Structure formats: C-alpha cells, structure tokens
C-alpha cells in the first residue's frame, strides 16, 4: 500500500487549532496572526510506552499532607536568585527568553559555574553551538570548574540517556526550539515538537527532582516563540531584556509558581561576562544632568525592589499638522492620557507641541506610580523650569486630576533617602504611615494643580 504523502496544515501557536487554510484570526482563541504553516506526516500519532505513563495516585485529604521539606537552593548569583524568588526549587522547570545576543547563554553558563563551585554537577546541552564554541565562551568568562559538563545534542532521547549516565544536579537546554523527539515526525521547533519535548522534560523534572532551565527564542513582538502552552507548562518564566546600546541587562520574572511575580534582577554586561548590580538606582542615576528642565526622578517598584530612575520629557513647538507623541520606556497610551489631564484640568496647551518622553537607562516602567513624575517632567519642559534635583516624585494620577496613593510608599522613600534625596512629592494621607522616614521632607498634595504649585512656585 502506497503511503500517504505529507500534508500542509496551519496550526495556531496559542491554542493548537488546526485548519487546512490560512486564517487571519483563530476561530478558537480569537488570536490574530497566530496560525503558522506546518508540514504534518500521516504517520500514526505518537503513543507513550507503558513505562512512560505516570503512576496513578490516590486522592489524599489536603490537611493530612505535610509541606515539602525541600528548601530553595541559592545559585550564588544574588540577582538571579532574586528573580527566582530566593533560589532554585528542586524539580522546577524555568523558561528563559530574550532577544538574540542579549546574553542568555552567558547568564546560564555563569549560573552553572557558580552552582558547580558549590559541589553540584551542572550539565549544559546546546543545540546551537559546538563544544569548541562553548569552550571559547567559557574561557572569556573565566569558567574553569570540572563539574560543569557540556554536550551538543538536539535529540530528546539522547539527552535522556545523558542524564542517566552523568546524573547531573542541574540541566540547561539551549534551546527548546532546537529539540526534537525522534518518535514524532514533525520538524524541530514546530508546535508539536515544542509541546511534546517540553511535556516530557517537565515530567522528568518532577520525577527526578532535577531543576531544568530551558532557553527559548523570542519573536519579533518580544514573546517566546512557540505555543503559548509552553509558558503554562513550566513553573517559572523569565525574560532577559536590555538595549544593546546600553550595558544594563534586566532579568524580569513574568511567572513564578514558587515566589512573587514581577521581580527584577539587574546585571551589567562587561568583557568578562555579566556582573551583578546590587544598587541599580545609583547606576541609573549616575549620569543624570542636575537642574535640567524636563528631568525628574521617580520611585518605581519592580517586584519587591524599589528602583529610582530618571524620566525625561522634551516639549517643543511642532511644525507638523499633527504633533508627535513618542514614548520610550512608558506606555504611549498612558502618556496621551496624562497630556489630556494637563490640558483639561490645569489648562496647559500641548495642541501645537511635539512631545517626547524617555526613561533613562533603557528600563521600562509599567506601574501607574510614575504618572506624577511624567506630568512634572512635561510641565518642566514646557515652562523651561527645572525641578529641584533633590526632589523625588511618585503618585498615580486620575482623570479628574486627583493624585492617588500607591503601594509600598515607605520602601520608595527609604530608597530615596539612601541616595541623598531631601524632598518627596506624594499623595496626601500617608504621613502617619511614614514615621520611620525622617531624612526626607514630605510634600503632600491632592491634585495635579497643587503638585505643580509646589514644584514651580510663582516667586521662584
């Protein structure tokens, strides 16, 4: 009997929906532009052998269970441990994504080197670099540990054999998109392969207790390539970010089943590899121009860490019929909202002005606590009046022009006092909660109009 030829299907990367023709919108999950063409073999679907089927468990009353006694293992890299919530949980699967060349492989090699220095065996399996290329990278990073093992392999079955023979304590796979299961007819990197290899690796980690780190490619939109199911299967999702024109690298936690989300680790890329930045606020403010119109310092919270960053605004007369509104590091929609508040509630005219807002250092701010800082920077640039260099600003701004309180005010102020700031502009009603902050003059305000009067007094 003549075997059937392969056929072409379009598979949604978010939900796995299959169709014989391309569609702009997935009818199942309603995601746009998510269907990818794949050649599917007509061979029978892959079936697990009996030894691969998980052992059935019996239901147990929750109150009779004892909490796990396994503690987190610090990696020896404080910024990496911070992003993980304090260290690596045995049996966890961590997915690390980032742009090409941002330093993902360098980071994981350095982490494995720290772990191997503590007596653990680390196995780094690369599907993209040869052993000789990995050696060149290790020499540049100064890695000399004999407990750090490397291998070049992309077949999942061979990797499982390596684990049986070497018995490492940690495993890094670079990358999940290059792996393939020989029992599946699909090509490496396809939705079917990524889903199946990730599933088997997650099951392996839970059975053996070996922490597994998966390095993933990202799309041009910045999301990890492959089905969205991949991020749901793993325990922790980290994104390694940074602007190539800057030396800073940010390790951001997007998901963490064993710790707080939205944590942030900060690194600096040097010739000898990635160096930890223990005080990112001082680093981001080191090149700040004092007493410059349009420049303010805001206090933001990334996970549990306070970070002080400089927000810059440039307001200049426009020669275009439609003035430009551009933002780098903050949401452009939020910028338009704050400009509308200034026009409606304060009476400032931005209709014929080009507006540019930038967060110095390449960091991206997403929390509403930076609203008041953006408004102060815009007004400072429009009026050509600088904000005092020793003033720290934060607060959420509403559509009626009110300034609202934000979480962790005390932590933000303590960070500001540590870096020498003398004044803080924030929402009214929090003074009783700030008794431990004694080195800062607290300026409480309730509206945007009042905030601008405090920052730019008429007699100044």
Q: Of 228, 248, 278, at which residue does a domain stop?
A: 278
Does residue 52 belong to any structural domain of this protein?
no
Burial class (CB in 10 A: 0-12, 13-18, 19+), 396: middle
Is 223 part of a structural domain of the chain? yes
Highest mean pLDDT among 44-58, 216-230, 283-297, 340-354: 340-354
> How confident is the model over 173-225, as pLDDT tens digits?
998 999 999 988 778 888 888 889 999 999 999 999 999 999 998 876 667 76
Assess whether pLDDT exceeds 90 at residue 122.
yes
Domain contains 368? yes
Instruction: Tell me: is residue 98 an annotated ligand-binding position.
Output: yes
Clarify whether residues 273 and 290 are in a common domain: no
Annotated binding residue at 99? yes
CA distance linking residue 381 with residue 374, whole number of Å: 11
pLDDT category of residue 4 using cuts at 50, 70 and 90:
low
Dihedral pair phi/psi, residue 417, rounded to 5°: -65, -35
Same domain assignment for residues 370 and 238 = no
Say which range, 52-66, 214-228, 330-344, 412-426, has the weakest mean pLDDT.
52-66
Average pLDDT of 317-327?
92
Highest mean pLDDT among 52-66, 290-304, 394-408: 394-408
Domain boundary among 259, 278, 297: 278
Q: Which of 332, 326, 294, 285 is nearest to 312 (CA)?
A: 294
Give the list of residues 6+ apart from residue 452 with CB closer than 8 angstroms, or none. 346, 375, 376, 379
- Number of domains composing the chain: 3
Confidence (pLDDT) at 123: 97
Give Cβ neighbours of residue 89 (< 8 Å, ≥ 6 apart): 70, 72, 211, 235, 258
Q: Give dist(CA 10, CA 13) in Å, integer.
A: 9
CA-based nearest residue to 175, from 219, 222, 125, 212: 125
Q: Are 308 and 416 in contact (CB under 8 A)?
A: yes
Question: 262: part of which helix (H) or strand (E)?
Answer: none
Q: What percent of the chain has pLDDT over 70?
A: 92
Could you list the residue range(s) of the whole structural domain that residue 147 is in? 74-278
Q: Please give the model's pTM, rounded to 2 decimal places.
A: 0.81
Which three-class secondary structure string do you get for 28-93?
CCCCECCEEEEEECCCCCCCCCHHHCCCCCCCCCHHHCCCCCCCCECCCCHHHHHHHCCCECCCCE
Q: Could you tell me the two tokens for 142?
A: 């100064």
Q: Strand, helix or coil at 130? A: coil
- 362 annotated binding-site participant: no
Segment (H or E) for 198: helix 191-208
Task: Say if strands 212-216 and 170-174 run parallel, antiparallel, or are unpaired.
Answer: parallel
Residue 460 lies in a domain: no
Q: Which two tokens stand for residue 317?
A: 């007369």
Same domain, yes or no: 329 and 182: no
pLDDT (0 to 100) of residue 16: 75
Same-domain status, 191 and 209: yes
For the sheet with 18-19, list strands across it. Answer: 18-19, 7-12, 35-40
d(CA 314, CA 310): 13
Q: Are residues 252 and 133 in the same domain?
A: yes
Share of the chain above pLDDT 90, in %: 59
Is the same domain home to 268 and 313? no
Task: Specify the pLDDT at position 92.
Answer: 95
Per residue in 361-400, pLDDT (tens digit) is 878 898 999 999 999 999 999 999 999 999 999 999 999 9
Quick one: pLDDT at residue 154?
A: 95
For residues 255 and 261, give the distance between their C-alpha atoms in angstroms, rounded to a whole number: 5
Is 104 annotated among the ligand-binding residues?
A: yes
The structure tokens listed for 28 are 């199942």
Contacts of 64 (CB under 8 A, 6+ apart): none
pLDDT band at 434 (very low <50, low <70, confident <90, very high): confident
pLDDT of residue 447: 97
Q: How big is the chain by its Cα radius of gyration, in Å?
A: 26
Positive or negative, the CA dihedral 220, 225, 231, 235 is negative
Q: How far apart are CA 86 and CA 259, in angstroms?
A: 8
Using a 10 angstrom Cβ sphere, with 0-12 exposed, 13-18 middle and 19 or more buried, the burial of residue 92 is buried
3-state helix, strand, coil in the chain (%, to 5): 30, 25, 45
* Residue 302 pLDDT: 86
**pLDDT at position 15:** 75
Report CA dihedral (138, 142, 148, 150) to the nearest 10 degrees.
10
The verdict on 439 and 319 lying in the same domain is: yes
* Local confidence band at 412 (pLDDT 50, 70, 90 cut-offs): very high
Do 83 and 19 share a domain, yes or no? no
User: Does residue 18 or residue 444 have the better pLDDT?
Assistant: 444
Residue 113 φ/ψ region, left for φ over 0, alpha for ψ in the -120 to 50 degree band, beta for the rest:
alpha
Over the stretch 24-79, which tens digit does the pLDDT of each residue have?
988 888 888 888 887 766 554 445 555 555 556 788 898 887 766 557 899 989 99
Residue 98 scores a pLDDT above 80: yes
Q: For residue 446, what pLDDT band results from cuts at 50, 70 and 90? A: very high
Chosen domain end from 232, 259, 278: 278
Q: 360 and 265, same structural domain?
A: no
- Considering the domain architecture, whether residues 35 and 85 belong to the same structural domain is answered as no
Task: Based on the fold, state whether residues 82 and 209 are members of the same structural domain.
Answer: yes
Mean pLDDT, the chain, integer: 88
Residue 51 lies in a domain: no
Beginning with the edge strand found earlier in the chain, give each strand of the sheet holding 325-328 in spatial order: 325-328, 353-359, 305-317, 295-302, 391-393, 423-427, 441-445
The pLDDT confidence band at residue 318, using thresholds 50, 70 and 90, is: very high
Same domain, 299 and 413: yes
Of 122 and 175, the structure prediction assigns the larger pLDDT to: 122
Is 103 assigned to a binding site? Answer: yes
Distances (CA, A) of 174 to 182, 227, 239: 18, 17, 15
1 lies in some domain: no
Burial of residue 131 (CB within 10 Å: 0-12, 13-18, 19+) is exposed
- Residue 321 sits in a domain whose CATH number is 3.30.230.10
Q: How confident is the model at residue 460 (pLDDT cuts 50, 70, 90)?
A: low
What's the whole-number mean pLDDT along residues 95-117? 93
Report the CATH number at residue 124.
3.40.50.300
């Amino acid at each position: 009997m003549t075997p059937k030829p392969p056929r072409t299907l379009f598979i949604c990367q978010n939900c796995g929906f299959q169709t014989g023709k391309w569609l702009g919108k997935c009818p199942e999950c309603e995601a746009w532009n998510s269907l990818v063409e794949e050649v599917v073999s007509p061979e029978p679907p892959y079936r697990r052998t009996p030894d691969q089927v998980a052992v059935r468990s019996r239901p147990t009353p929750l109150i009779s269970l004892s909490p796990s006694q396994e503690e987190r293992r610090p990696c020896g890299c404080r910024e990496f441990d911070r992003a993980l919530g304090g260290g690596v949980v045995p049996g966890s699967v961590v997915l690390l994504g980032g742009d090409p060349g941002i330093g993902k492989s360098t980071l994981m090699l350095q982490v494995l080197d720290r772990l191997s220095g503590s007596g653990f065996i680390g196995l780094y399996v690369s599907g993209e670099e040869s052993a000789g290329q990995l050696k060149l990278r290790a020499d540049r990073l100064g890695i000399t540990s004999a407990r750090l093992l490397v291998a070049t392999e992309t077949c999942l079955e061979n990797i499982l054999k390596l684990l049986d023979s070497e018995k490492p304590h940690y495993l890094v796979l670079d990358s999940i998109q290059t792996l393939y299961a020989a029992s599946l007819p699909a090509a490496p990197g396809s939705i079917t392969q990524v889903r199946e290899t990730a599933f088997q690796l997650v099951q392996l980690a839970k059975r053996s207790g070996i922490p597994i780190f998966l390095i993933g490619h990202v799309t041009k939109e910045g999301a990890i390539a492959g089905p969205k199911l991949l991020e749901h299967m793993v325990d922790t999702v980290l994104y390694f970010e940074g602007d190539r024109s800057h030396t800073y690298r940010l390790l951001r936690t997007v998901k963490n089943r064993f710790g707080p989300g939205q944590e942030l680790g900060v690194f600096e890329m040097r010739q000898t590899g990635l160096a930890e930045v223990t005080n990112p606020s001082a680093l981001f403010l080191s090149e700040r121009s004092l007493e410059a119109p349009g420049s303010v310092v805001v206090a933001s919270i990334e996970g549990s860490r306070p970070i002080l960053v400089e927000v810059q605004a440039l307001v200049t007369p426009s020669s275009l019929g439609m003035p430009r509104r551009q933002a780098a590091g903050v949401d452009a929609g939020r910028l338009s909202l704050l400009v509308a508040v200034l026009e409606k509630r304060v009476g400032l005219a931005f209709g014929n002005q080009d507006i540019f807002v930038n967060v110095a250092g390449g960091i991206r701010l997403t929390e509403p606590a930076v609203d008041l800082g953006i408004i102060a920077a815009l007004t400072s640039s429009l009026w050509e009046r600088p904000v005092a260099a020793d003033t720290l600003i934060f607060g959420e701004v509403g559509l009626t022009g009110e300034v609202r309180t934000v979480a962790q005010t005390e932590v933000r102020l303590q960070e500001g006092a540590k870096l020498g700031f003398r004044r803080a502009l924030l929402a009214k009603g929090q003074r009783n909660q700030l008794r431990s902050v004694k080195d800062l003059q607290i300026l409480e305000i309730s509206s945007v109009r009042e905030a601008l009067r405090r920052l730019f007094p008429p007699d100044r």
